């Protein structure tokens, strides 16, 4: 992903930036997230989803040859869901780590009837 963002910057399509917070002097990195309508898989959770470019589409997007036609919902079978800890909803505690995306046991996981039931978070 970093290589793709650097390529976008080099091609003049800058979708990220770094700037200094005037109060703290801290360097802040920010990025643009392009969204589109949700696919059938994610629609029970939200009406929008991030655009996911396939590897074969990178060059066409970066050169501008493909344009907006690539900004479409991802195929339904590309993504997966599973229940995760409610810790994902809390920031600034200093306990962000890779375990946040690990599945947790949840008997009520089929809330939305989606495969894996990942729409419900647990403690």
Q: What does the pLDDT read at residue 13?
A: 59
Per residue in 25-69, pLDDT (tens digit) is: 999 988 888 999 999 999 999 999 999 999 999 889 888 888 888
Per residue in 4-20, pLDDT (tens digit) is: 444 554 555 567 888 89
Q: Residue 52 gets which letter from DSSP?
A: -
Q: How far is CA 33 from CA 16, 80, 104, 112, in A?
A: 9, 20, 27, 25
Question: 12: Cβ–Cβ under 8 A, 6 or more apart, which residues?
Answer: none
Residue 123 has pLDDT above 80, yes or no: no
Per residue in 71-118, pLDDT (tens digit) is: 999 999 999 988 888 888 887 777 778 888 889 886 554 444 444 444
Q: What does the pLDDT read at residue 107?
A: 53
Give the number of other CB atoms < 10 A from CB of residue 4. Answer: 14
């Amino acid at each position: 992903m970093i290589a793709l963002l650097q390529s976008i910057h080099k091609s003049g399509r800058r979708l990220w930036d770094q700037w200094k917070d005037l109060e703290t002097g801290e360097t802040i990195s920010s990025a643009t997230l392009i969204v589109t309508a949700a696919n059938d898989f994610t629609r029970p959770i939200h009406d929008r989803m991030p655009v996911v470019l396939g590897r074969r589409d990178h060059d066409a997007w970066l050169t501008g040859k493909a344009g907006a036609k690539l900004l479409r919902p991802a195929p339904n079978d590309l993504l997966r869901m599973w229940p995760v800890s409610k810790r994902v909803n809390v920031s600034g505690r200093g306990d962000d780590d890779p375990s946040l995306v690990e599945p947790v046991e949840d008997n009520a996981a089929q809330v939305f009837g989606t495969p894996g039931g990942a729409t419900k978070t647990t403690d």
